[in-house]
Chain A
Amino acid sequence: MSLGAWLRNHPAALERAYLFTHRLFERLDPLFARMGYERAERLVRWPEELGKKLVFDCRMCGQCILHSTGMTCPMTCPKNLRNGPCGGVRGNGHCEVKPEMRCVWVEAYERSRAMPRFGDEIALIQPPVNRRLQGTSAWINMLTGVDARTPRGWEMGSQA
């Protein structure tokens, strides 16, 4: 079993690591703001990519929702689903598209149950992906708020 797979099966620890990193970045925010987010992005992006690729097989969508999806990357789902499993999951819990792989969402749901803090966020409705953020640092996008920006119509939908 790879290091990444081993870590992913300890979601409660990952959740704490997420919270720690989150706070760290918030602390660093004034620094990043002073040096300019574009420069900060160049600095942060590659270690972020390296680390998240290793642990989560990250696809660098630039709008990370790992803590809301059982610390399991939804972009590793061949259909890129962000709101839960499709109806094609096999009886053994494996993926419709890649029979040798367990369904990303079967794992996400299992792991979310072991996450006391963010586990229930798996029930949140996730907005459509902003494809322009592909390849950028999700941490910097979080600090600038660009990852949370949704199309104007989508906002109106949440009040409908």
Chain B
Amino acid sequence: MSENREGFLAGSRLERVLRSGRFAVTAELNPPDSADPQEVYDAALVLSQVCDAINATDASGAHCHMSSVAICALLTRAGYEPVYQVSCRDRNRIAIQGDLLGAAAMGVRNVLCLTGDDVTAGDQPEAKRVFDFDSIQLLRTARIMRDRGVFLSGRKLTTPPRFFLGAASNPFVPPYDWRPLRLAKKVEAGANFIQTQYCFDIARFREFMRRVRDLGLHEKVYILVGVGPLRSEKAAEFMRTKVPGVHIPDAIVERLRKTPKPRKREEGKRICIEIIQQVREIEGVAGIHVMAYRQEELVAEIVEEAGLLPRPLRVGAADERRREHPRKWPRR
């Protein structure tokens, strides 16, 4: 691996926080259906005060929004720390490698390599699915660009990108036995950190982590557990039937159903906080990743009430660097 003088792969804040052994918090930004950068900045402003890095999703659920590379470019311009999500659904290897370089040039240091939800999950199911790469091939290609300074073809890069590389994991869907081994494969392909699918099933996650520890993976990769609030039992039902890969146990849906209507939102938040507190106790968990779809305003409350403030954590050199190049805040 190519590490710089301080021993960092990318020197991003996320990498520094995780390497320092502190509990990290990342959050997902809901991408706007808009050509106005202000909408990105408005969403980022709220999140940036309660997390260490902001994920820019790549047309998740196969719904078209502002592109993740553009959102990341806006975020770095304003001094925020993005995690650039790249999915294999929409672009072939040529486009993906070009975008990786472009993102790096824009100051992006964290990349999350994903397979991507299928086109049939979205509102344009007639689209052509690409999947030229799978997520593991994408991950390794990004690592080759970083560590070997070449494209997949072997052609040299004049300046290689510096990336802290991430991958996803979903311990909550079959084949359960293989999920820890698939994680091992991702680590071998180059994953430095993992962000999991929504965790609502603590028992299942504990079992997964036990296997992960047996394989020694928790010492090779930083695992951030996906969490998020549920608005109501209806939202839970929608998510577990309509959103690919989300598993919500009946007990949680039932708990929301029994809660009187005005308190449902609060109860959803409480469940989320309880899950955070439980996963924090599990050995090998390095942080959480908050995904609050259409409930961004709740992220701050969740992070605060889970006792995870102040954020973002100060990490030395990354903050220094930011001081050298003063933030250019967008016009508000």
Partners in one complex: yes
Chain A interface (Cβ < 8 Å from any Cβ of B)? 78-93, 96-97, 103, 105-106, 109-110, 123, 125-129, 131, 151-154, 156-157, 160
Task: Tell me which of B30-38, B114-122, B264-272 binds A.
Answer: B114-122
Assign chain B's interface to a size class. 35 or more
Q: Across the interface, which residues of B come within 8 angstroms of A88, CB to CB? A: 115, 117-118, 121, 173, 244-245
Q: Across the interface, which residues of B come within 8 angstroms of A90, CB to CB? A: 173-174
* Whole-angstrom CA separation of A79 from B129 in the bound complex: 8
* Whole-angstrom CA separation of A157 from B190 in the bound complex: 9
Q: Across the interface, which residues of B come within 8 angstroms of A84, CB to CB? A: 136, 178, 182, 185
Known: A87-B197, A123-B185, A151-B154. A79 touches B115 (CB 8 A): yes
Q: Does B153 contact A (CB under 8 A)?
A: yes
**By CB atoms of chain A within 10 A, which of B129, B168, B178 has the most?**
B178
Docked-complex contact A85 and B178, CB < 8 angstroms: yes
Docked-complex contact B118 and A97, CB < 8 angstroms: yes
- Chain B 158-196: CB-based contact to A (< 8 A → 1; otherwise 0): 000000000011100111011001101100111000000
Q: Does B132 contact A (CB under 8 A)?
A: yes
Q: Across the interface, which residues of B come within 8 angstroms of A93, CB to CB? A: 174-175
**How far apart are A72's CB and chain B's nearest CB, in angstroms?**
12
Q: Across the interface, which residues of A come within 8 angstroms of B154, CB to CB? A: 151-153, 156
**How far apart are A109's CB and chain B's nearest CB, in angstroms?**
5
- Chain B 130-166: CB-based contact to A (< 8 A → 1; otherwise 0): 0111111100110110011011111100000000000
**How far apart are A37's CB and chain B's nearest CB, in angstroms?**
25
Docked-complex contact B137 and A89, CB < 8 angstroms: no
Docked-complex contact B144 and A160, CB < 8 angstroms: yes
Q: Across the interface, which residues of B come within 8 angstroms of A109, CB to CB? A: 175, 177-178
**Chain A: CB-nearest residue to B174:** A93
Q: Across the interface, which residues of A come within 8 angstroms of B174, CB to CB? A: 85, 89-93, 103, 106
